[in-house]
Amino acid sequence: MGRAILSHFLILSNSAPQLSSSSISKLNGFASRSVRIRQNSKYSNGFRCYCDVSHSQQTSPEDSRTSVTVKKRIVSGVQPTGSVHLGNYLGAIKNWIALQNTYETLFFIVDLHAITLPYDTKELSKATRDTAAIYLACGIDASKASVFVQSHVHAHVELMWLLSSATPIGWLNRMIQFKEKSRKAGDENVGVALLTYPVLMASDILLYQSDFVPVGEDQKQHLELTRELAERVNYLYGGRKWKKLGGRGGAIFKVPEPLIPPAGARVMSLTDGLSKMSKSAPSDQSRINLLDPKDVIANKIKRCKTDSFPALEFDNPERPECNNLLSVYQLVSGKTKEDVAKECQGLNWGSFKPLLTDALIEHLHPIQVRYEEIHSDSAYLDSVLEEGARKASEIADATLKNVYQAMGFLRR
């Protein structure tokens, strides 16, 4: 039952508010075609916002109003652990904007993950709101994607506990991030959450029966654990066993696939081309924060690490900084790699840096303006988060109910 709720939605019930009667009549008879309806949404200025309605079945005019379409589902999120930087944006959020047009998307602020390492209680709620405003300012359209705060949907933590009982501790001990982060934090003193957060991540994904999860290199191992866990729970509690308990039978969880971001989306530190740009890096000089003012951006680029090779080029392993800065320029200018390679091959750092600075400022300025608008309209932000949590809870609760049933709990 849950799966049907998850993967299917009525074309017309989902999109009805945006469809005129002429649009509806144009849908009739379409087969395997995509219908795009342009639509304005609050704070969407500058971004092309349209609703993509895939109409994949041959239908007659009579049955088109009730025909269903299936959109694959994607979930993703960013931790509110500091200011969102260019790496989070180019590696994650910017890609979501394209995804929301094709997939059913849920984008959340993963505040429960933000307490895995010591954190400032005075900052958490502010960083959570700021991150939500950044999602919207970057072009996440709340009329297409569900935007919500992870802790506002109780099922995340509840499912995590249920999944924990099926997670062998050896699987968690193997996690590279746990080994690295616990070593850094001083083994004995790290919280248990650092060991168990991959189970929370599995819960974040499996609750929504996600088809795909966008993952960077560093998260691949966690997604693999999620997939193994889904298969294990399906095997332990799904199928006939579940049916005997009065359930639907079959798989409890969909096993999600990774969605690897486009090449070049791993943004490296400005002070070390071999380390990724990160919120937790001690030096602010190592990253461009999305809300950095123009002069700060200019200063960071001016002082960023370069090399003494002549000319500029992509893909030279001896020049990680050069590759990184050219890639950033490519992504924010919207040019192709070939065009950037051609444009920059004759430049030196002195002439390239102002070019990169201008491109960054030009790209980030509209985001910053929209961020201020959204951030100052707290009623709007609250309503987006409330509606996002409501929609997410509907899906999550259906999954959770199935899991409780399949695991033999007394029903409420």
Q: Is 216 in the site for ligand AQP (CB under 6 A)?
A: yes
Query: Among 266, 260, 227, 215, which Cα is nearest to 78's?
Result: 215
Does 201 contact ligand AQP by CB under 6 A? no
Nearer to ligand AQP, 162 or 268 (CB): 268
Report the residue count for the chain.
412
280 touches ligand AQP by CB under 6 A? yes
Q: Does 87 bind ligand AQP (CB under 6 A)?
A: yes
Asked if residue 110 lies in contact with residue 79, where contact means CB atoms within 8 angstroms, the answer is yes
- Does 284 bind ligand AQP (CB under 6 A)? Our answer is no
Check residue 119 and give left, alpha or beta (phi > 0: left; psi -120 to 50: alpha): beta
Q: Which of 278/393 has CB closer to ligand AQP?
A: 278
Q: Taking CA 343 as the corner, what is the angle to CA 92 and CA 305, rounded to the nearest 5 degrees?
A: 60
Strands (E), 245-346: 257-259
Please state, in angstroms and rounded to a whole number, the distance separating the CA atoms of residues 169 and 179: 14
Pairing assessment for the beta strands 104-109 and 73-78 based on DSSP bridges: parallel
Q: Which two three-digit tokens encode residue 46?
A: 């500058």
Among 22-30, 77-85, 239-247, 345-353, the segment contacting ligand AQP (CB under 6 A):
77-85
Report in angstroms how near the CB of residue 291 gets to ligand AQP at its nearest.
Answer: 14
Binder among 210, 278, 330, 402 for ligand AQP (CB under 6 A): 278
Q: Tell me the window of 156-164, 260-268, 315-323, 364-372 that interacts with ligand AQP (CB under 6 A).
A: 260-268
Q: Which is closer to ligand AQP, CB of 30 or CB of 96?
A: 96
Q: Active-site residue numbers?
A: 181, 276, 279
Q: Does 266 bind ligand AQP (CB under 6 A)?
A: yes
Answer for which of 112, 160, 252, 277 binds ligand AQP (CB under 6 A) is: 277
Q: How far is the CB of 110 from ligand AQP (least distance, A)?
A: 6
Q: Please give the Cα distance from 228 to 246 (Å, whole number).
A: 25
78 makes contact with ligand AQP (CB under 6 A): yes
Site membership for ligand AQP, residue 81 (CB under 6 A): yes
Residue 139 in contact with ligand AQP, rule: CB under 6 A: no
Q: Which window, 47-55, 152-160, 239-247, 275-283, contacts ligand AQP (CB under 6 A)?
A: 275-283
> CB of 117: closest distance to ligand AQP in angstroms?
8
Q: Which of 325, 71, 54 is nearest to 209 (CA)?
A: 71
In angstroms, the CA 49 to CA 68 distance is 23
Q: Which of 276, 363, 370, 375 binds ligand AQP (CB under 6 A)?
A: 276
8 Å CB contact between 320 and 268: yes
By beta-carbon proximity to ligand AQP, the closer residue of 96 and 242 is 96
Can residue 11 be called a binding residue for ligand AQP (CB under 6 A)?
no
Closest-by-Cβ residue to ligand AQP is 91
Give Cα separations from 161 to 167, 201, 298 (angstroms). 10, 12, 47
The H or E element containing residue 399 is helix 378-406
Provide CB contacts within 8 A for 283, sequence distance 6+.
Answer: 271
Rounded distance between C-alpha atoms, residue 147 and residue 141, angstroms: 9
What angle separates helix 378-406 from helix 121-138, to the nearest 10 degrees?
100
Dihedral sign (CA 53, 56, 61, 63): negative
Supply the minimum distance, in Å, between the C-beta of residue 277 and ligand AQP: 4
- In sequence order, what are the beta bridge partners of 51? 37
Contact window for ligand AQP (CB under 6 A) among 40-48, 60-68, 88-96, 290-298: 88-96
| Min dist. Cβ of residue 245 to ligand AQP (A) | 36
In sequence order, what are the residues at sequence separation of 6 or more whose Cβ sits closer than 8 angstroms to the Cβ of residue 355? 329, 344, 347
Among 79, 306, 323, 330, binds ligand AQP (CB under 6 A): 79
| Residues linked to residue 80 through DSSP beta bridges, in sequence order | none
Residue 362 beta carbon to ligand AQP: minimum distance, rounded to whole angstroms: 21
Angle at the Cα of 392 from the Cα atoms of 389 and 398, rounded to 5 degrees: 130
Residues in the interface with ligand AQP (CB under 6 A) total: 17
299 binds ligand AQP (CB under 6 A): no
279 binds ligand AQP (CB under 6 A): yes
Cβ atoms of residues 27 and 63 within 8 Å:
no
For ligand AQP, the closer of residues 173 and 280 by Cβ is 280
Q: Is 267 among the residues that bind ligand AQP (CB under 6 A)?
A: yes
The nearer residue to ligand AQP, 93 or 340, going by C-beta atoms, is 93
Give contact residues for ligand AQP (rule: CB under 6 A).
78-79, 81, 87-88, 91-92, 216, 219, 265-267, 276-280
